[in-house]
Structure 1
Amino acid sequence: MASKPLRVGFVPEHFSTPLHFAKQHHSLSADLIPFPSGTGHMITALRSGEIDIGVGLTEGWVAGLGKTPQPNEPSDGGYRLIGTYVETPLCWAISTGANRSEIDSVDALKGGKIGVSRIGSGSYVMGYVLADERCWLAPTSGVGTSNEMGSPFKDFVVLNTFENLRKAVNEGEADFFMWEHFTSKRYYDSGEIRKVGEIYTPWSSWMIVASTGLIGGEEGKDARMDPRVEEFLEKVNLGIKHFNEHKDEAVKYISTELDYSEEDARAWLETVRFPERTQGVDLEVISKTVDTLYKAGVLIEGKGMGPKEMVAKPR
């Protein structure tokens, strides 16, 4: 059992390049399982035992643990934060259909239909962060469904994949959606969708989580990890080192194996910073994320976990 490779969920985008390098150049033995629909899907997979580790968006992980568990969810949340994968913020592009001329600004999106990959995903959470930034939230705004009093949007349209999101804004099923800037840019260039605006996360954008089944020790303190988890983090560190030292190789991989132009790959490299060591999570970052999500109405104070409970391996 101890020698069984870990199953690692990841989003198959440019940010995954250090994982690829860890596998290709440093004998990472984990099974890398792509989740193109994002962090919300990985939360479901962690809780159902389909994967052991997830590499995804900070706001998605925090939102998942900060809510009261539903009857069909594990009472312990199913996972904990163990590592930091990307230290820079994420730029979310705000997109609409190519011919949606009635949507001429971000403010025109208030009260509209927002497309999201899943309820609780980063694309869902950032809808509330955008609404908070734009002062669209009523004091009574809650979280969970679009029907609750104070919701800034008419509906949250669950569409699962980036392809479905693009299709939905062109066909009128949704008015807009938010997705990472460089992943969206190719479709602006081709004229398939149109950019309305952008918003940055006010926190480090990507974190690593592990199933609670791989973590031991007293809650709130530096936990004991399954040795395979520690080995995984060390291999990812080596993948990041290779990424930092071989930028041309990274550009070639991103522009040939993933859905990006060479120009966009090089531009992205100027905006992203991975940590030298992925081990551990800065509690202040998680506290800031939780506070922002309280303010945006994504989380409700007094319900779900606090920041200390979410982090199994503090920095």
Structure 2
Amino acid sequence: MSETLRIGFVPEHFSTPLHFAQKHYALSASLLPYPSGTGHMVQALQAGEIDVGVGLTEGWIAALGKAQTTSTDVGFKVVGTYVETPLCWAISTGAKRRIDGVGGLKGKKMGVSRVGSGSYVMGFVLADQQGWLDPTSSSAPFEVVPLNTFANLRLAVNDSTADFFMWEHFTSKRYYDNGSIKRIGEIYTPWSSWKIVAKNILLSSSSSDPNSSKLTPELEELLESINKGVRHFEANQEEAVKYISTELDYSEDDAREWLKTVRFSQDVRGVDKGVVEKTVEVLTKAGVLEGAVDAKSMIGLNRSEAVKWI
């Protein structure tokens, strides 16, 4: 373990409180960007490249659940809730493609960043909602085309390498506005959208004291710094808009509109067991997870336990 913790994050508008935590509150960690998303951070955690990840709920739960079904240790657990609101996934195709709605996507080529990423998982949630999953068939509802980055996905739907892809609405919107890609639908996550995970080494061993923290002091300090970043974000919305519209790939108008839709956790420490169970339920129904999966074992800190040491 390095002296300075390493946090993997997606360099999008949702990362603004992390930036503020580092800029204003001496966040005791290095921020390492992973523009290709949660699936890449799963690999980075397992490779020892990062210690903590801030990513999409469905990506973390899918990785943890698949590890259980193969009796492997993925090496991390969910320790925090970063964003309380669901995520709006926009469904996009090429600007001149003759695909005008979700109904015609069955059997098409779905571009994803990585297998197991949020863009992959939500495709199967969409297929479940549309009634395209046949439990008696071995055929998948889509051909999956891994393309790593958002830029590659945009190119792929225009050159027909892929027929459609799914990405967060406001991150996609600039490219609708400039005519690069076309929006054909949307789908919301049935769960709060962003969670924080940490490597198992940052979880304290069990103690005879039932009120003792389950996190190491360095992880507790890190999460409290993120809390301060969130509070700064909420109290300084104009600073947030300026950062998002000058340092990230968003217009000022889109940054302001996004602020109306998002609600960060007042205390990022801990995760609700019910949210994890709901995610497991939906991912199992969608065919992303198979077999019995224990939601409780995915959690490094329950919110009910976090209250004890606020």
TM interval, shorter chain, is over 0.9
Confirm or deny: 8 A CA contact 1:139 1:150 kept in the other structure.
Answer: no
Aligned to 1:90: 87
Distance in 1 between residues matched to 2:213 and 2:59, nearest whole Å: 22
Aligned to 1:77: 74
> Structure 2 residue aligned with 1:275, among 265, 269, 275?
265
Give CA deviations for 1:1-41 in whole Å, capped at 9, x if unaligned: 68x11000000000000000000111112000000000000
**Tell me, what secondary structure is at the counterpart of 1:36?**
coil
Aligned to 1:146: none
Aligned to 2:120: 124
Alignment of 1:226-265 (within 5 A): 226-265=216-255
Distance in 2 between residues matched to 1:213 and 1:150, nearest whole Å: 40
Alignment of 1:18-33 (within 5 A): 18-33=17-32
Confirm or deny: 8 A CA contact 1:116 1:157 kept in the other structure.
Answer: yes
Task: State the AA in 2 paired with 1:151.
Answer: A
Aligned to 1:212: 200
Distance in 2 between residues matched to 1:45 and 1:121, nearest whole Å: 13
**Tell me, what secondary structure is at the counterpart of 1:163?**
helix
Shift of residue 225 of structure 1? 1.6
Distance in 1 between residues matched to 2:149 and 2:167, nearest whole Å: 11
TM-score normalised according to structure 2 size = 0.93
Task: State the AA in 2 paired with 1:40.
Answer: G
Distance in 1 between residues matched to 2:241 and 2:107, nearest whole Å: 40
Shift of residue 216 of structure 1? 2.8
Confirm or deny: 8 A CA contact 1:217 1:223 kept in the other structure.
Answer: no
Alignment of 1:55-70 (within 5 A): 55-68=54-67
Which runs of structure 1 show a deviation greater than 4 angstroms over 4 or more consecutive aligned residues?
A: none
Aligned to 2:170: 182
Distance in 1 between residues matched to 2:35 and 2:69, nearest whole Å: 25
Q: Does residue 1:291 correspond to 2:281, yes or no?
A: yes
Distance in 2 between residues matched to 1:108 and 1:159, nearest whole Å: 22
Confirm or deny: 8 A CA contact 2:112 2:148 kept in the other structure.
Answer: yes
In structure 1, the gaps of 5 or more residues are 142-148
Alignment of 1:91-110 (within 5 A): 91-101=88-98, 103-110=99-106
Shift of residue 109 of structure 1? 0.8
Shift of residue 218 of structure 1? 4.2
Confirm or deny: 8 A CA contact 1:128 1:298 kept in the other structure.
Answer: yes
Distance in 1 between residues matched to 2:54 and 2:16, nearest whole Å: 12
**Tell me, what secondary structure is at the counterpart of 2:114?**
coil
Distance in 2 between residues matched to 1:224 and 1:290, nearest whole Å: 23
Aligned to 1:46: 45
Task: State the AA in 2 paired with 1:282.
Answer: D
TM-score normalised according to structure 1 size = 0.92
**Tell me, what secondary structure is at the counterpart of 2:140?**
coil
Confirm or deny: 8 A CA contact 2:67 2:73 kept in the other structure.
Answer: no
Q: Percent identity?
A: 63
Confirm or deny: 8 A CA contact 2:28 2:221 kept in the other structure.
Answer: no
Shift of residue 223 of structure 1? 6.2
**Tell me, what secondary structure is at the counterpart of 2:66?**
coil
Aligned to 1:202: 190
Aligned to 2:308: none
In structure 2, the gaps of 5 or more residues are 304-310
Distance in 2 between residues matched to 1:51 and 1:122, nearest whole Å: 19
Aligned to 1:7: 6
Task: State the AA in 2 paired with 1:150.
Answer: S
Give CA deviations for 1:53-104 in whole Å, capped at 9, x if unaligned: 0000000000000014698xx9321110000000000000000000102x11
